[in-house]
Structure 1
C-alpha cells in the first residue's frame, strides 16, 4: 500500500509541476511575443464573447428583423475575432497559448483530483426483503424493461412485479399503497424520475425501503445515487446484496420531488400544447414574451433574508447541484444535506446577458441553499415543472426539504458518484509542485504522499 501511495504522490507532484509550468509558459509566451499587444489580444477575445452573448439575448427576446440581425451578429463575432488575430499575424500565438492553458488545466485537475472526496455513501448493510413489490413502466426509456428483461429477473429473485398500463399513471401512488396492503415490505420503480418521486412519497410515508431501477430516459436520481444507468438490471442486486441509505425528499406545494422543481421560462414553454410537436418553433415564438415579462407570471423567490424579484427562471433542487462542473445542473454530490438548492436567473438587458459570462459573480445569477423557500407570482396560479412533469400550482408555492425521510436500498457494489472536478486552486498546486523544505518523495518511501 505504501508503494502504491508513493507512486500516487509522485504522479500528483509532477502533474502539479506540469500545470504550473504550462500556465507560466503561456503567460511568458504571450508577453514575450506580443508585449503590450497581449492586453489587446485578450480584450478582443473577451469583447467577442460579450458581443456573442448579447446578440444571443437579442435573438431570444425579439422577433423579426431584430432577431435576424442578432443571429447574424452572433455568427459574425467569433470569425471577426479570429480575423483580427490573423491580420495581426498572431493567430498562432493565441492558439499556442490556449493549448498551454488547456494543458495546465488538465494537469491541474489531475493533480487536485486526489484531494477530491467521493460522493457515494457506503450505506448500512441490510437483509433481503421478505416481499418486494416493483412497479415497472414497460414504455419508459424506449422499452428498457423488456430489453433488459427486468420483469423476469425481478421475479426470479422473488419480487412481485406490477406492469403499468396506459391508464395506471394517474394513480401510481395508489398502486404502491395497494402493494403495502398486500404485505409488501419494499417498494421499487423501474421508470422515469416523475414516477420514482410518486412512489418514493408513499415509501417514505410508510417507512418502507425504496429501490430505484433506472429504466427511464435520463434518471438523474439514479445518477446521484451512484447507480449504473447503462444496465438497470444491476439495480436488482439491491434485493439480494443491498445497503440502505437515508436521503432527502423535496416538496413543492405538497408534491414530492426527487430532483427539482422549475419555475419561469422553462416551465411556461414546455407546458405549451405545441411544444411536443415543435420544440424549436415553440421556444422561438414564446421566449420573447416570457423573457421580457410580457407573458407569463412575474416571479418572486424568497429564501430567508434573500429576495429575488422578477427572475425569468427559478430552479429549486433537492440538495444543490454542483457549481463549476460541466455536468452543470445534472449532478449532486450528496442527497442527504437537508437543504434545497436555489438557482435563479434574472436578465433584463443585453449587458446583463453578457455579464452572465462571469458565472457565480454575475449579479443576475443567484445560487444559495435553504431548508425552505417560497416562490410567489403576480397570478393566483403558476406553472411548475416537477421532475419533468408539468403541473399548475396555486401561489405562493412553498418549497421545503424533508431530510432523511426516504430509505433507499441500493446494491452494495455500484459505480458510485464520481468526485466533482476540483476548482483550479493555484496556491494548492504550487504547494504540491514545490513542497517547502523537502524534496520530491521517492515512490514507496516513508512519508510519501
Structure 2
C-alpha cells in the first residue's frame, strides 16, 4: 500500500548528463535543493552502487528510460526506494506510473511529496527492463536511428530509419514456449511489454491503464502482415487515422516465457536500447520488485 513520505534532505540526485532534457532536469533539481551529481552514461551504474553501498534509503536518478532501468536493476527486491525525474525523450515509464513529466513537479515528488508503491519489472536472461523488449524489425530500426541521429536529429533520424526498416523487412523463425506449450512462427517482429498493452488504434502498444499484470507477448505473423503492422505504427507516430485495421498476430499475457531463435547470439531491444544476448531468451516478470516514488493520488496531496 502507498505511504506518504516526508521531504528528503541531503539526497543526492544522479543526472545523466547526456539525457535528452539534461539542462531542464538540472535546473529543476537545483531549484529543489538536491545535491546534484552529473554522470556520463557509462558511469551511472558504478556511481549508484557507491550510493547504495553507503547506505542510502532512496536513489534519485534523472534521465531517460535506459538510465532508470539501470537504477531499477540495482534496487529491485530491496528496501531502497527509487525516485525519478524523467529527463529522456519519451519517458514511457514515468507516464505509465503516475510520475509527472513536468520536471519541476517530478523533482518535488522525488523530494518527498510523493508516495511509495510497488512496481513490476521485467527480465530477459537476468537483464532488467521496465517497458518493452523487441526482437526483429524494431532492432533494425533502432540501430539505423542511432547511426543517423548524430547527423540529422532524433525526429528525422526516426523517419528515415523507419522507411529503411520497412523496405528491408526479413522473416525469422521464432519458437515460443508458454506454460509448457511450444509454438513456432515465421515473423519479422516479436514485442514483449511489461503490463498489458493496447491492441487497438490509436493507442496501439501503449500500456493499458489498470490492465493485466504480466508480460504481454505479441508476435506478428509473416512479412506481409508485419509490413501492415509497421504502417499502423507509422500512422500512430504521425497522429493520423490512416490505419483502421490491425494485421493478424498472436498475443499472450504471461509471467514467463522462453523464446528460441536460429542463432546463438541475438541483438534485442530493451527500453529502446540494443543489447547482445545469448539464446534462448528467458523472459520473466518480478511483481512489485520496485519501491517506486510516484505522485500521490488526487485528493491526497
In structure 2, the CA distance between the partners of 1:359 and 1:374, relative to structure 1 (3 Å rule), is farther
Q: 1:191 aligns with which of 54, 63, 68?
A: 63
Q: Report what 1:340 is aligned to.
A: 215
Between the aligned partners of 1:245 and 1:351, the Cα distance in structure 2 is 37
Any residues of structure 2 matched to 1:116-155 within 5 Å, and which?
123-129=2-8, 132-145=11-24, 149-154=27-32
Q: Report what 2:81 is aligned to.
A: 209
Do residues 381 (structure 1) and 295 (structure 2) align?
A: no
- 1:189 is paired with a residue of what secondary structure? strand
Do residues 311 (structure 1) and 187 (structure 2) align?
A: yes
Which shows bigger deviation, 219-228 or 300-309? 300-309
Deviation at 1:283, TM superposition (A): 4.6
Do residues 399 (structure 1) and 283 (structure 2) align?
A: yes
Between the aligned partners of 1:194 and 1:348, the Cα distance in structure 2 is 30
Per residue, is there more strand in 1 or in 2?
2
Instruction: Say whether the 8 Å CA contact 2:220–2:226 is kept in structure 1.
Output: no
Q: 2:118 aligns with which of 243, 246, 258?
A: 246
Report the structure number with the largest CA radius of gyration: 1
Per-residue CA shift, 1:26-63, capped at 9, x if unaligned? xxxxxxxxxxxxxxxxxxxxxxxxxxxxxxxxxxxxxx
Deviation at 1:313, TM superposition (A): 0.6
Between the aligned partners of 1:249 and 1:414, the Cα distance in structure 2 is 25
Do residues 268 (structure 1) and 140 (structure 2) align?
A: yes
Deviation at 1:186, TM superposition (A): 0.3
Deviation at 1:285, TM superposition (A): 4.7
Any residues of structure 2 matched to 1:21-170 within 5 Å, and which?
123-129=2-8, 132-145=11-24, 149-154=27-32, 156=33, 159-164=34-39, 168-170=40-42
Q: How many residues align?
A: 278
Deviation at 1:320, TM superposition (A): 1.5
Instruction: Say whether the 8 Å CA contact 2:19–2:63 is kept in structure 1.
Output: yes
Per residue, is there more helix in 1 or in 2?
1
Between the aligned partners of 1:131 and 1:184, the Cα distance in structure 2 is 10
Any residues of structure 2 matched to 1:221-370 within 5 Å, and which?
221-229=93-101, 231-238=102-109, 239-272=111-144, 274-276=147-149, 280=159, 282-291=161-170, 293=171, 297-304=172-179, 305=181, 307-324=183-200, 326-334=202-210, 338-349=213-224, 353=228, 364-370=248-254
- 1:211 is paired with a residue of what secondary structure? strand
In structure 2, the CA distance between the partners of 1:349 and 1:323, relative to structure 1 (3 Å rule), is closer
Instruction: Say whether the 8 Å CA contact 2:175–2:260 is kept in structure 1.
Output: yes
Between the aligned partners of 1:340 and 1:351, the Cα distance in structure 2 is 21
Per-residue CA shift, 1:254-306, capped at 9, x if unaligned? 21111011111111232247554565555555544433x3xxx5333332336
Deviating 4+ runs (over 6 angstroms): none
Instruction: Say whether the 8 Å CA contact 1:300–1:311 is kept in structure 2.
Output: no
Per-residue CA shift, 1:59-92, capped at 9, x if unaligned? xxxxxxxxxxxxxxxxxxxxxxxxxxxxxxxxxx
- 1:151 is paired with a residue of what secondary structure? helix
- 2:99 is paired with a residue of what secondary structure? coil
Unaligned runs of 5+ in 1: 1-121, 416-449
